[in-house]
């Protein structure tokens, strides 16, 4: 049972949880001084989220060892999502 | 498989037919049909004056609202006996009969609610009255689909001795065509297509009554034919 | 299947080979071609004639609603709808026949599909049609009655979800459990998407603005797009299923 | 399954696009709404779902090594976390509605409830798939789900497909968490 826990997956899991706490702290830090639309926090939060999703794709769903087209589709989707988010966000505010 | 259950379903048809006739005569708005050109006050007065009659007739019609469903299912069983490649038409017939049944129930509910509180605002009573008439007259699409399926099955029946004769197929198509104009009752207020007009009311309901009566006799002979074939088969089975 | 036993016994004289039909599956093809015909007619009635799809905004002003309800095209469209709605049951007939051919799946799912479609016909399609016709039939109604009819018509047309949810669930389960792959597995996944769009259409009862209203981008447009896509794929797969149905399966049992 | 996954991603991308577009229109309303959300529960949910994803991934590893006992145990832990996630989410909703913040309050809460509701549906679908995986790992006397008769070995491909779906549900939650809870 514990033999499996030492696999790389657990390392990925640790990274993900720590990054989640980081983004939480980042998101929460915005409350204290000013509550405004700040591109920097949003940018970093979204970037972290996409990074986490990419980790999930690559390690948990073994896209790492998947055929090339699958890898490209996943990365392509993530990039596309990032572009869409920033485009709509900037044109909005 | 003996045909006693089908006979019971068949004999439900005349019983419900008589009850339907009674309900239709008691209801004051059918003979002569309520005109769609009446104003809200006139319609409300009509219902206020005939509360007892409307309630009694509509409660009766509510009880026997989908009385013909067993009859349609006997037709579906006969369609499944036909030698046609697949039962697509039988299932379509069943689905159309199910949908058609719900609409008459809706019409009946609208009428009953129209007289539930006669002192209601006339426009609301008018609204319920219109909904009731629409749901009674307009939904001919399902009946057309039923007749179409039955007619096509009869034409494609490849049995040496077909279950229904060819003319039954033609009869179904003709009745479907005769009932088709009823759908336009929701557009016109006057003229033959209005819901009290010759085409939409008299022709449609008259054709439907005739259709059920004729089909009753046709299906009865088909079921008796099936019973004969069963004995014949059993006799062959015993003899073999 | 008692049905087939009965027919075999009762039809000793009929030999199916003597069918003189142009094609042994004529009845299924008739039902099959009723699907595209009905749905183009459906689109014509609702989009061109009645202009119900794309729906006007739920927050339209009262005069706009009154004017919208009085258009003559609306009532003629609803009359045509009342006339032609029976064809939808033809389509469910042939789908049920194909579903009953599946292996490892009891006909319960096929009958559930048939009943779900039979139920969906009235509240989802014909009742809103009558409600719009009611509005147009009596211009002298008080404005609030017209607004009520306007809402009732659209909300029951776009918002009746339950019948279709059950239909999609049953269809998807049948496809996944079927070992004869009458319908390809990706159609099952497409059906699950259609199911998701029905769920996304739920908030039209809650909000009147934004993408979740009854003319909103997500509730209406995405739902319609995926429904049209699903219908198209269904036609393609049904065509293939009927075409390579082995001939000996036809005949009495069917 | 990949066909389905790509479809899901496409549908959710449309939702995110609409959400962000509307958020761009009136950021103040969204910000005000966002303050009322409790980020703590959001983070807790993210951690729970991440752990369940880890367990499911480890289950796949164990199945490849034909170690069915451990695989089932991991699967059970993953499923347990999934159920825990749903409970926490339901609790959060209950708290929100009791604080009179229903979906119909204003646009932000409509989005919030819609996203989380949709995601919950996907989680329940995922849990159903996990149950099917469980029956795959230790088959009951009756046949397994749509398994060809006589297939004795648990089919690894089937386990991987189920795991893929579960990871997609987790990835979607990460995106929702970021956009709804943390975004400015």
Give which of A15, A7, A3, A86 is closest to A52, Cα–Cα. A15
Give B57→chain C minimum CA distance, Å. Answer: 24
Q: C137 and B140: CB-CB below 8 Å?
A: no
What six digits make up the tokens of C7? 């027919």
Interface list for A 1-20 with D (CB within 8 A): 1, 4-5, 7, 9-10, 12-13, 16-17, 20
Asked if C109 has any chain B CB less than 8 Å from its own CB, the reply is no
Average predicted confidence (pLDDT) for chain D? 80
| Per-residue confidence (pLDDT) for residue C12, from 0 to 100 | 41
Q: pLDDT-based confidence at B162, cuts 50/70/90?
A: confident
> In C, what residues contact D, Cβ < 8 A?
104, 176-177, 179, 186, 189-190, 192-193, 196, 199-200, 203, 206-207, 209-212, 217-218, 222
From the candidate CATH numbers 3.30.1490.100, 1.10.520.10, 1.20.120.80, 1.20.58.340, the one assigned to the domain spanning D2-182: 1.20.120.80
Q: Report the alpha-carbon distance of residue B105 to residue A2 in Å, rounded.
A: 66
Number of folded domains in chain C? 1
| Per-residue confidence (pLDDT) for residue C4, from 0 to 100 | 39
Q: pLDDT-based confidence at B147, cuts 50/70/90?
A: very high
Number of neighbours of residue B86 by Cβ within 10 angstroms:
27
Mean pLDDT is lowest, of C22-31, C35-44, C73-82, for: C22-31
Mean pLDDT of D92-99: 82
Q: pLDDT-based confidence at D163, cuts 50/70/90?
A: confident
Taking phi first (over 0 means left), then psi (-120 to 50 degrees means alpha), and beta for anything else, what does residue C51 get? left
| Per-residue confidence (pLDDT) for residue C6, from 0 to 100 | 39
Nearest to D22 among C176, C186, C210 (CB): C210
Q: D54 and A28: CB-CB below 8 Å?
A: no
As a three-state string, the secondary structure of chain B is: CCCHHHHHHHHHHHHHHHHHHHHHHHCCCCCCCCCCCCCHHHHHHHHHHCHHHHHHHHHHHHHCCCCCHHHHHHHHHHHHHCCCCCCHHHHHHHHHHHHHHHHHHHHHHHHHHHCCCCCCCHHHHHHHHHHHHHHHHCCCHHHHHHHHHHHHHHHHCCCCCCCCCHHHHHHHHHHHHHHHHHHHHHCCCCCCCCCCCHHHHHHHHHHHHHHHHHHHHHHHHHHHHHHHHHHHHHHHHHHC
Task: Name the range with the highest mean pLDDT among C13-17, C30-34, C210-214.
Answer: C30-34
Q: pLDDT-based confidence at B199, cuts 50/70/90?
A: confident
| Per-residue confidence (pLDDT) for residue C205, from 0 to 100 | 85
- In chain C, the residue whose alpha carbon lies closest to the alpha carbon of B129 is C134
Give the pLDDT confidence of B68-117 residue by residue, as tens digits: 999 999 999 999 888 888 888 999 999 999 988 888 889 999 999 999 98
Mean pLDDT of D61-86: 85
Q: Please, do chains D and B touch (3+ CB pairs < 8 Å)? A: no
Enclosing domain of residue C40: 25-249
Could you give phi then psi for residue B67, rounded to 5 degrees? -65, -25
- Domain chopping of chain D, boundaries: 2-182
Name every chain B residue with its beta carbon within 8 A of the beta carbon of C252: 83
Mean pLDDT is lowest, of A25-29, B144-148, D11-15, D155-159, for: A25-29
Helix axes B4-26, B51-63, angle to 10 degrees: 170
Name every chain D residue with its beta carbon within 8 A of the beta carbon of C58: none
Nearest to D146 among C177, C199, C222 (CB): C177
Name every chain C residue with its beta carbon within 8 A of the beta carbon of B144: 83, 86
Give which of D38, D87, D77 is closest to D57, Cα–Cα. D77
Give B68→chain C minimum CA distance, Å. Answer: 17
Give C165→chain B minimum CA distance, Å. Answer: 18
- The residue count of chain A comes to 93
Chains meeting A at 3+ CB pairs closer than 8 A?
Answer: D
- Domain chopping of chain B, boundaries: 4-239
Interface list for D 27-66 with A (CB within 8 A): 27, 31, 35, 39, 42-43, 46-47, 50-51, 53-54, 56-58, 61-62
Mean pLDDT is lowest, of A64-73, B93-102, D77-86, for: A64-73
| Per-residue confidence (pLDDT) for residue D103, from 0 to 100 | 66
Cis peptide before D144 (omega within 30 of 0): no
Query: Does a structural domain hold residue C73?
Result: yes
Asked if D181 has any chain A CB less than 8 Å from its own CB, the reply is yes
Give B137→chain C minimum CA distance, Å. Answer: 10
Give C199→chain D minimum CA distance, Å. Answer: 8
Q: D184 and A46: CB-CB below 8 Å?
A: no
Q: D61 and A59: CB-CB below 8 Å?
A: no
| Per-residue confidence (pLDDT) for residue C18, from 0 to 100 | 47
Task: Name the range with the highest mean pLDDT among A87-91, B171-175, C121-125.
Answer: B171-175
| Per-residue confidence (pLDDT) for residue C253, from 0 to 100 | 43
Under DSSP, the state recorded for C141 is S
| Per-residue confidence (pLDDT) for residue D11, from 0 to 100 | 82
Asked if C18 has any chain B CB less than 8 Å from its own CB, the reply is yes
Q: D47 and A49: CB-CB below 8 Å?
A: no
| Per-residue confidence (pLDDT) for residue C16, from 0 to 100 | 45
Mean pLDDT of D27-45: 78
Asked if D176 has any chain A CB less than 8 Å from its own CB, the reply is no
Q: Please, do chains B and C touch (3+ CB pairs < 8 Å)? A: yes
Query: Does a structural domain hold residue C4?
Result: no
Interface list for D 145-174 with A (CB within 8 A): 160, 163-164, 167-168, 170-171, 174
Chains meeting D at 3+ CB pairs closer than 8 A?
Answer: A, C
Asked if A63 has any chain D CB less than 8 Å from its own CB, the reply is no
- Residue pair B144/C83 in contact (Cβ under 8 Å)? The answer is yes
Mean pLDDT is lowest, of A55-64, C9-18, C245-254, D70-79, for: C9-18
Asked if B160 has any chain C CB less than 8 Å from its own CB, the reply is yes
Asked if B69 has any chain C CB less than 8 Å from its own CB, the reply is no
* pLDDT higher than 50, residue C9: no
Name every chain C residue with its beta carbon within 8 A of the beta carbon of D107: 207, 209-210
- In chain D, the residue whose alpha carbon lies closest to the alpha carbon of C181 is D146
Give the pLDDT confidence of B125-141 residue by residue, as tens digits: 999 999 999 998 888 88
- Residue pair C50/C77 in contact (Cβ under 8 Å)? The answer is yes
Mean pLDDT of D140-158: 62
Name every chain D residue with its beta carbon within 8 A of the beta carbon of C217: 14, 18
Q: pLDDT-based confidence at C20, cuts 50/70/90?
A: low
Mean pLDDT of B13-36: 88
Name every chain A residue with its beta carbon within 8 A of the beta carbon of D3: none
Taking phi first (over 0 means left), then psi (-120 to 50 degrees means alpha), and beta for anything else, what does residue C158 get? alpha
| Per-residue confidence (pLDDT) for residue B168, from 0 to 100 | 92
Q: D114 and C212: CB-CB below 8 Å?
A: yes
* pLDDT higher than 50, residue C1: no
- Cβ-defined contacts of D44-47 (< 8 Å, 24+): D44/D88, D45/D85, D45/D88, D45/D89, D45/D92, D45/D173, D45/D177, D46/A20, D46/D173, D46/D174, D46/D177, D47/A17, D47/A20
Pick the more confident residue, D36 or B57: B57
Give B183→chain C minimum CA distance, Å. Answer: 5
Q: A88 and D24: CB-CB below 8 Å?
A: yes
Asked if D11 has any chain A CB less than 8 Å from its own CB, the reply is no
What six digits make up the tokens of C207? 């909000």
> Looking up tokens 């009766």, which residue turns up?
B60
Number of neighbours of residue C253 by Cβ within 10 angstroms:
15
> What does pTM read for this prediction?
0.83
Which of C91, C118, C140 to substitute to test the interface with B, most B CBs within 10 Å?
A: C118
Mean pLDDT is lowest, of A25-34, B58-67, B157-166, D130-139, for: A25-34
Q: pLDDT-based confidence at B233, cuts 50/70/90?
A: confident
B200-222 burial code (b ≥16 CB/10 A, e <16):
bbebbbebbeebbeebbebbbeb
Pick the more confident residue, D2 or A45: A45
Query: Does a structural domain hold residue C6?
Result: no
Which of D15, D33, D57 to substitute to test the interface with A, most A CBs within 10 Å?
A: D57
Q: C209 and D103: CB-CB below 8 Å?
A: no
Q: C7 and B86: CB-CB below 8 Å?
A: no
Which residues have a Cβ under 8 Å from the Cβ of B200 and sit 6 or more positions away?
B137, B181, B182, B184, B185, B192, B193, B194
Taking phi first (over 0 means left), then psi (-120 to 50 degrees means alpha), and beta for anything else, what does residue B121 get? beta
C-D CB pairs within 8 A amount to 51
Question: CA-CA distances (angstroms) from residue C114 to B91, C111, C230, D11?
Answer: 8, 5, 18, 29
Give which of C114, C113, C93, C101 is closest to C191, Cα–Cα. C113
- In chain C, the residue whose alpha carbon lies closest to the alpha carbon of D20 is C211
Q: C209 and D107: CB-CB below 8 Å?
A: yes
| Per-residue confidence (pLDDT) for residue D144, from 0 to 100 | 56
Mean pLDDT of A54-73: 75
Q: pLDDT-based confidence at B146, cuts 50/70/90?
A: very high
| Per-residue confidence (pLDDT) for residue D141, from 0 to 100 | 57
């Amino acid at each position: 049972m514990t033999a499996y826990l030492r696999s790389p997956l657990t390392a990925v899991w640790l990274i993900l949880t720590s990054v989640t706490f980081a983004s939480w702290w980042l998101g929460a830090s915005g409350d204290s001084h000013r509550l405004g639309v700040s591109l920097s926090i949003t940018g970093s939060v979204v970037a972290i989220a996409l990074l986490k999703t990419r980790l999930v794709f690559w390690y948990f769903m073994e896209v790492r060892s998947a055929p090339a087209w699958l890898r490209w589709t996943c990365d392509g989707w993530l990039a596309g999502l990032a572009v869409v988010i920033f485009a709509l966000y900037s044109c909005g505010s | 498989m003996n045909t006693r259950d089908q006979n019971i379903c068949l004999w439900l048809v005349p019983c419900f037919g008589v009850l339907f006739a009674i309900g239709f005569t008691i209801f004051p708005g059918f003979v002569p049909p309520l005109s769609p050109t009446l104003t809200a006050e006139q319609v409300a007065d009509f219902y206020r004056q005939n509360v007892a009659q409307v309630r009694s007739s509509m409660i009766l019609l509510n009880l026997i609202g989908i009385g013909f469903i067993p009859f349609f299912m006997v037709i579906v069983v006969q369609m499944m006996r036909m030698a046609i490649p697949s039962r697509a038409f039988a299932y379509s017939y069943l689905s159309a009969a199910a949908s058609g049944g719900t609409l008459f129930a809706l019409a009946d509910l609208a009428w009953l609610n129209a007289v539930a509180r006669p002192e209601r605002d006339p426009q609301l009573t008018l609204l319920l009255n219109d909904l009731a008439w629409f749901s009674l007259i307009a939904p001919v699409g399902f009946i057309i689909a039923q007749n179409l399926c039955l007619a096509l099955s009869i034409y494609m029946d490849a049995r040496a001795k077909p279950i229904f004769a060819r003319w039954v197929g033609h009869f179904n198509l003709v009745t479907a065509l005769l009932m088709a104009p009823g759908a336009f009752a929701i557009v016109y207020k006057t003229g033959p297509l209005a819901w009290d007009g010759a085409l939409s009311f008299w022709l449609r309901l008259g054709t439907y009554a005739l259709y059920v009566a004729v089909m009753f006799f046709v299906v009865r002979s088909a079921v008796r034919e099936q019973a004969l074939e069963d004995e014949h088969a059993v006799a062959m089975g015993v003899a073999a | 299947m008692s049905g087939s036993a009965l027919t075999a016994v009762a039809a000793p004289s009929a030999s199916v080979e003597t069918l003189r039909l142009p094609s042994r599956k004529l009845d299924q093809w008739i039902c099959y071609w009723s699907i595209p015909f009905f749905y183009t007619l459906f689109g014509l009635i609702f989009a061109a004639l009645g202009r119900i799809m794309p729906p006007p905004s739920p927050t339209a002003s009262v005069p706009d609603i009154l004017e919208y309800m009085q258009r003559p095209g609306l009532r003629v469209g609803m009359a045509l709808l009342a006339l032609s709605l029976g064809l939808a049951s033809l389509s469910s007939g042939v789908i049920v026949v194909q579903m009953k051919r599946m292996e490892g799946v009891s006909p319960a799912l096929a009958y559930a599909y048939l009943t779900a479609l039979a139920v969906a016909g009235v509240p989802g399609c014909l009742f809103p049609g009558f409600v719009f016709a009611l509005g147009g039939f009596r211009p002298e109604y008080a404005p609030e009655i017209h607004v009520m009819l306007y809402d009732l018509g659209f909300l029951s047309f776009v918002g009746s979800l339950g019948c279709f949810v059950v239909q999609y669930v049953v269809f998807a389960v049948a496809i996944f459990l079927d070992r004869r792959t009458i319908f390809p597995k990706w159609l099952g996944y497409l059906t699950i998407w259609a199911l998701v769009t029905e769920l996304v259409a739920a908030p039209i009862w809650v909000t009147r603005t934004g993408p979740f209203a009854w003319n909103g981008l997500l509730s209406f447009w995405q739902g319609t797009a995926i429904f049209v896509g699903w219908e198209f794929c269904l036609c393609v797969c049904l065509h293939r299923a009927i075409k390579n149905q082995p001939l000996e399966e036809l005949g009495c049992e069917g | 399954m990949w066909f389905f996954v790509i479809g899901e991603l496409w549908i959710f991308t449309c939702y995110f696009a609409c959400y962000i577009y509307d958020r761009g229109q009136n950021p103040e309303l969204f910000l005000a709404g966002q303050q009322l959300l409790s980020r703590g529960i959001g983070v807790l949910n993210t951690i729970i779902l991440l752990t369940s994803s880890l367990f499911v991934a480890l289950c796949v590893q164990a199945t490849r090594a034909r170690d069915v006992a451990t695989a089932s145990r991991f699967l059970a832990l993953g499923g347990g976390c999934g159920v825990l996630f749903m409970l926490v989410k339901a609790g959060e909703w209950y708290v929100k509605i009791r604080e009179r913040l229903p979906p119909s309050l204003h646009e932000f809460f409509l989005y919030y409830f819609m996203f989380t509701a949709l995601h919950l549906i996907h989680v329940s679908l995922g849990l159903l798939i996990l149950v099917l995986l469980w029956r795959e790992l230790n088959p009951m006397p009756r046949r397994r789900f749509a398994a060809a008769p006589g297939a004795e070995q648990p089919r690894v491909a089937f386990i991987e497909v189920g795991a893929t779906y579960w990871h997609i549900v987790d990835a979607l939650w990460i995106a929702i968490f970021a956009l709804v809870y943390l975004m400015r």
